[in-house]
Structure 1
Amino acid sequence: MATTDKDHIKRALNERDGFQVWWRLLRPHTLTASFAPVFVGTMVALNAGSFHLLLFLAMLIASILIQSATNMFNEYYDYVRGVDSEHSVGIGGTIVRDGIQPKTVLRLALFFYGIALLLGIYICAITSWWIAAIGLVCMLFGYLYTGGPFPISATPFGEVFSGFFMGTVIIGISYYIQTGYIDAFPIFISIPVAILIGCIMLSNNIRDLDGDKQGGRKTLAILLGRYNAVRFLGLLFIIAFYFTAHFIIIGILPLWSLLTFVAVIPAIKVVKGFKGKTEPLEMMPAMVLTGKTNSIYGILLGLSLLINYFI
């Protein structure tokens, strides 16, 4: 019976064997949370008159590797703690459904961290060794998000930590390594990006609310309850676009950044997709669409800054 249930989940999630097992382990729908901030921070630096292609690529690859490793730590530690099972959705499923050894997932995560560390050394050698300290802190919190005795993801602060480190900090670092200094502009611009990254985590916790509650977690979604958590998610979307509009009006962002409001359409669909749903499989499309909302917003924000530079 268990095998039948597992196969049913795999079919429902369209999970395939082969290379896709490892691709799912990365949780690709979350990787825009690492790409968009690097792109945006670099484009802000470009408008300040500074751009170095190799630094951009090194920062981009390192951020994606750290995000991927964080997802693997999540996969490993949730399995070890018994949070994930073959019925869990929204995970790579490489351990519980595909039979990949847990230690293999952990070693791969550490390997990704190692490559990111080497890229960080390259970035520091060209810019400043202060970046090393900040980068190590980011990597530490990436691990502590699901690892350690008190994982951050099991607390009401998961959205805050993920939004701050993956949004504000990464945008700030991306700007600094290009320009050699930091000012208020990238920090202001990071606010809506950080909020939308937090939305990805909140939508994940809304979907996993019942399972997380059984696992003894105290996420923000659990404390608010499903109905209020969905409403709060909608409020976060409104706040993110409010800040965007405000920054355009006062001149922090160019008029071209109105392009980001295209992301309002999927944001509305996300909230509607969660309303009235209680089963994780039913909510999976809304969860994936939250990541796409962040992708559309981040890419269009970066493109608007790129267009502003050339026009």
Structure 2
Amino acid sequence: MQPEVQTSFKPANGAKGWKVWWQLTRPHTLTAAFVPVLIGTALAISDTDIHFGLFLAMLLASLLIQAATNMFNEYYDFKRGLDTEESVGIGGAIVRDGIKPNTIMQIALSLYGISMLLGVYICMQTSWWLAAVGLVCMAVGYLYTGGPLPIAYTPFGELFAGFFMGMMIILISFYIQTGTVSLTSVLVSFPILLLVGAILLANNIRDFDGDKAFGRKTLAILIGREGAVKLLAGMFIVSYAWVFILIFTGVSSPWLALVILSTPKAIKATKGFIGKSIPITMMPAMVATAQTNTIFGFLLSIGLFLGYFL
């Protein structure tokens, strides 16, 4: 066990007070929780009247679980020695800002507790079977960096993140409104599975050297840095191609073609990783990857809404 860091460090980048706590949630990742809820609800609008209470409860629960997952990541990266004052990224509230590890863990568990209360409300309005699904999703969030064999240390991090924080949130959001899961909802959710996974892949490309030194076996390390960048580009390409296949086969409205407007961010993200190995130089590419998911998801939702109303 490492000793707790004293609170004498200066906040990173001059951040003070609430800004430190805001950074601790890793806000650039929160869209990975917000976008799927919006898409699942947009999908449901053609089948039923939207229950806004359930929408807001699902949205808040997803955001809190994502924030808590980020805090678990902060806590365990510190405990395992991955985070130092020289680490690049929005994390590092313990090593740079002097927040005590136990405080971060307590807050993360509190956020999980609030999410569970919201889950009880959702189950009371829909089905108690969702409790089991929600607990599995929360367990994956914790085990991503917690437990004896963290998912983040394996080649399956992108798959677990994409499935549970992308596709599953869409399907749960759709289910609580409609009482069912349709084939269309599964098909439409697939690109978001890829794009949420891409956020994790981008993070692992940036942390390639550090993760390798600490013995992590991420997908990026398994296939090499260049292979990981090519995979990232492939995930972007398949995401866009998938939407147009849905349009051409009549599964979805032509309005979903609006997602094409997000391609500049995907291109920027891919180019931003090519030929780079220094973590700080890859930060713009990481941001662009998260923005691709956000903009793509918003445009997909708008397309679903327009397909219903027009």
- What TM bracket, shorter-length normalisation? over 0.9
The question of whether the paired residues in 1 share the 8 Å contact of 2:48 and 2:177 is answered with no
Question: In 2, Cα distance between the equivalents of 1:188 and 1:143?
Answer: 27
* Contact persistence 2:31–2:294 (CA under 8 A): yes
Q: How many Å apart are 1:19 and its aligned residue?
A: 1.4
Aligned mates of 1:205, 1:251 — CA distance in 2: 37
Where do residues 1-311 of structure 1 align in structure 2 (5 Å cutoff)?
A: 10-11=12-13, 16-311=15-310
TM-score by length of 1: 0.95
Moved over 3 A (4+): none
Q: Which amino acid aligns with 1:246?
A: I
> Contact between 1:21 and 1:92, CA under 8 Å: does it hold in 2?
no
Measure the CA separation in 1 of the matches of 2:19 and 2:26.
11
- Does structure 2 conserve the Cα–Cα contact (< 8 Å) formed by 1:55 and 1:178? yes
Worse-matched range after superposition: 222-231 or 62-71: 222-231
C-alpha distance in structure 2 between counterparts of 1:137 and 1:213, whole Å: 29
Task: Report SS of the residue matched to 2:87.
Answer: coil
Counterpart in the other structure of 1:3: none
What residue identity is the alignment partner of 2:67? S
The SS at the match of 1:97 is coil
User: In 2, Cα distance between the equivalents of 1:167 and 1:250?
Assistant: 23
Match of 2:5 in 1: none
Please give the per-residue CA displacement for 1:173-218, whole angstroms capped at 9, x wherever unaligned: 1000000111211111010010000000000000001110111100
- SS of alignment partner, residue 147 of structure 2: coil
2:276–2:282 Cα contact (<8 Å) kept: yes
Aligned residues of 1:75 and 1:91 also touching (Cα < 8 A)? no
**AA aligned opposite 2:205:** I
Q: Provide the C-alpha distance between the structure 1 equivalents of 2:295 and 2:136, rounded to a whole number of angstroms.
A: 28
In structure 2, what is the Cα distance between the partners aligned to 1:49 and 1:119? Answer: 22
The Cα offsets for residues 250-309 of structure 1, whole Å up to 9 and x where unpaired, read as 122211111111111100000111111111110011101110000000111111111222
Counterpart of 1:119 in 2: which secondary structure?
helix
Letter in 2 for 1:184: L
Amino acid at match of 2:305: L
Unaligned runs of 5+ in 2: 1-8
Residue 248 of structure 1, CA deviation: 1.1
One-letter identity of the residue aligned with 1:274: F
TM-score normalised according to structure 2 size: 0.95
How far apart are 1:39 and its partner, in Å?
0.4
RMSD between aligned residues: 1.3
Letter in 2 for 1:170: I
- State the AA in 2 paired with 1:114: G
Equivalent position amino acid for 1:41 in 2: G
How much has 1:51 moved relative to structure 2? 1.0
Identity %: 56
One-letter code aligned to 1:194:
L
State the one-letter code of the partner of 2:213.
Q
Matches of 1:108 and 1:214 in 2, distance apart? 30
Structure 1: stretches of 5+ with no match in the other structure:
1-5
Offset of 1:50 from its aligned partner? 3.2
Q: How many residues are treated as equivalent by the alignment?
A: 302
Cα distance in 1 between the residues matched to 2:63 and 2:306? 25
Residue 106 of structure 1: CA displacement?
0.4
**Whole-Å Cα distance in 2 between the matches of residues 251 and 105 of structure 1?**
48
Give the Cα–Cα distance (whole angstroms) in 1 for the partners of residues 90 and 222 of structure 2.
22
CA–CA distance in structure 2, aligned partners of residues 131 and 89 of structure 1: 38
Shift in Å, 1:167: 1.3
- Work out whether residues 90 and 204 of structure 1, in 8 Å CA contact, stay in contact via their aligned partners in 2: no
CA distance in 2: counterparts of 1:106 and 1:52, whole angstroms: 33
Moved more, 246-255 or 217-226: 246-255
How big is the shift at 1:47? 1.6
* Equivalent position amino acid for 1:76 in 2: Y
CA drift of 1:92 comes to 2.4
Distance 2:258 2:85 in 1: 41
